[in-house]
């Protein structure tokens, strides 16, 4: 019983720490953690598909972009307020994930990677093609007047941080619960041995599709949150690099762990931030550190801690 309480206590402790950080960190780092929490939601969504189900996607940026454009275009073109626009963004990401999953999950392994990459590139080109509405590479700004919720101006630093915190908390605890449910255990069974899971009677195709949709919705929530809190929507967020970032975050923090995505985002964010203050070749520095971590801690930070004696880490 005590062991089962440790993961819950850790999750709640992390949330309490994030809450306290607002009051003790300088303004720059408060803004940084607002961004980190949003990107961690994206990493969580990716981790469900990759870390728990064993499906390596190279096109997750399309779901992030679906949420971002779903929110931004809805507010700009229809005048919807924050909550309906946010719901539209989640719906857009979920439907896209359902459609892509239905087709892409007919493949496996390298073919799945390539198919998801091609779908993501298609979404990117669609954004550029409809530049009249999306403003293409230039993107567009979500105006301050459109980022109001119940009379609260979400463009202020305080409102931005606490909105990011609330969204992150809901997604963080929901994901922790989800992977402990029978559904999450079945996804792990598929990751470990898909044929055995199929022999045990699990509907593998259905479970994978559900994981794809949930993963897409989480990614869409992150994209909509980014547009809402930082007020910018651009095609660069649908590019290949934004499909690679969540993979790196999850690998660094620990695939198949609930706290790994957050740790991976924090580590990589500050690695790039600090190294960019030393040299213009900051990506080279980041690359070297990432290679070293991959060589000496292939299971990620949390996975390595698990292996070295803290087996209860979620």
| CB neighbours of residue 310 within 10 Å | 11
Predicted pLDDT of residue 221: 97
Q: Would the pLDDT of 2 be above 70?
A: no
Element (H, E) at 140: strand 140-141
Task: Convert the pLDDT of each residue in 123-161 to its tens digit.
Answer: 999 999 998 899 888 888 888 888 888 888 888 999 999
Which of 245, 257, 272, 283 lies closest to 64 in space, CA to CA? 245
Query: pLDDT tens digits for 89-124?
Result: 999 999 999 999 999 999 988 999 999 999 999 999
Pairing of strands 140-141, 152-153: unpaired
Predicted pLDDT of residue 308: 82
CA–CA distances in Å: residue 262 to residues 38, 77, 178: 10, 34, 17
SS3 of 156, please?
coil
pLDDT confidence of residue 42: 97
More confident residue, 288 or 173: 173
Structure tokens at 16: 């309490």
Entry pTM = 0.95
Mean pLDDT of the residues in the chain: 91
């Amino acid at each position: 019983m005590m062991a089962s309480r440790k993961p819950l206590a850790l999750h709640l402790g992390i949330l309490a720490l994030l809450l306290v950080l607002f009051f003790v960190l300088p303004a720059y780092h408060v803004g940084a953690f607002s961004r980190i929490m949003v990107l961690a939601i994206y990493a969580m969504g990716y981790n469900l598909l990759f870390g728990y189900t064993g499906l390596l996607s190279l096109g997750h940026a399309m779901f992030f972009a679906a949420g971002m454009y779903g929110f931004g275009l809805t507010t700009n073109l229809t005048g919807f307020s924050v909550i309906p626009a946010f719901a539209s963004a989640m719906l857009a990401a979920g439907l896209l994930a359902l459609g892509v999953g239905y087709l892409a999950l007919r493949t496996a392994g390298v073919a799945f990677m390539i198919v998801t990459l091609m779908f993501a590139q298609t979404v990117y080109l669609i954004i550029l093609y409809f530049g009249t509405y999306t403003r293409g590479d230039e993107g567009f700004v979500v105006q301050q007047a459109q980022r109001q919720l119940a009379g609260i101006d979400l463009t202020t630093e305080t409102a931005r941080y606490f909105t990011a915190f609330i969204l992150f908390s809901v997604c963080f605890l929901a994901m922790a619960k989800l992977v402990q449910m029978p559904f999450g255990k079945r996804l792990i069974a598929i990751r470990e041995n898909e044929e055995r899971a199929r022999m045990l009677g699990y509907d593998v195709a259905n479970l994978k599709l559900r994981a794809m949709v949930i993963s897409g919705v989480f990614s869409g929530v992150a994209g909509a949150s980014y547009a809402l809190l930082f007020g910018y929507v651009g095609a660069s967020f649908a590019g290949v690099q934004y499909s690679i970032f969540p993979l790196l975050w999850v690998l660094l923090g620990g695939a198949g762990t609930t706290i790994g995505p957050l740790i991976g985002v924090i580590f990589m964010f500050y690695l790039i931030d600090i190294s960019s203050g030393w040299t213009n070749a900051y990506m080279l520095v980041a690359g070297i550190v990432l290679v070293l971590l991959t060589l000496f801690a292939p299971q990620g930070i949390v996975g390595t801690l698990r292996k070295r004696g803290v087996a209860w880490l979620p």
